[in-house]
Structures are given as structure tokens and as C-alpha cells.
Amino acid sequence: MEIWVNDQPVTLLTGMTVRQALIQLDLLKSIEEGRRVFDEWGNEVGLDGTVEEGQRFEVK
């Protein structure tokens, strides 16, 4: 399945998490530095949440 993080596509397997998407894009360190992940509606999301096809996230 494909999701988007900061307008970059990420291909994940079903059941994978937000954290795994961030690892693929080398963004986990930015979370450790205090940034947070938000969904396309501006809601903060947890790193252990599963993702679904087509979801969009932003790290800010």
C-alpha cells in the first residue's frame, strides 16, 4: 500500500505503523528532536498507529 509523508510516497505492507513509515524516510530522528506527526486533518497521531492506503501525514 502507499501512503504519503510530507508529500513523499512511502510503500508499506498492511499492518505497518506510522513509525515504520518515518524510518523509511529517515524522519524518526526529527521526532526524537521534538517534532510531531499530524494527519491530513491536522490531528496529531501516535507513532504506533497502523496506516491505511492513501493516508497523508505531515511531520512538523
Which H, E and C letters describe the chain, residue by residue? Answer: CEEEECCEEEECCCCCEHHHHHHHCCCHHHHHCCCCEEECCCCECCCCCECCCCCEEEEC
Strands 2-5 and 56-59: parallel
Q: Looking at the domain assignment, is residue 58 inside a domain?
A: no
Best CA proximity match to 51, nearest among 25, 9, 18, 6? 18
pTM above 0.85, yes or no: yes
Mind listing the pLDDT tens digit of every residue in the chain (60 residues)? 999 999 999 999 999 999 999 999 999 999 999 999 999 999 999 999 999 999 999 999
Q: Looking at the domain assignment, is residue 54 inside a domain?
A: no
In terms of residue numbers, what domain contains 11?
A: 2-46
Domain count, the chain: 1
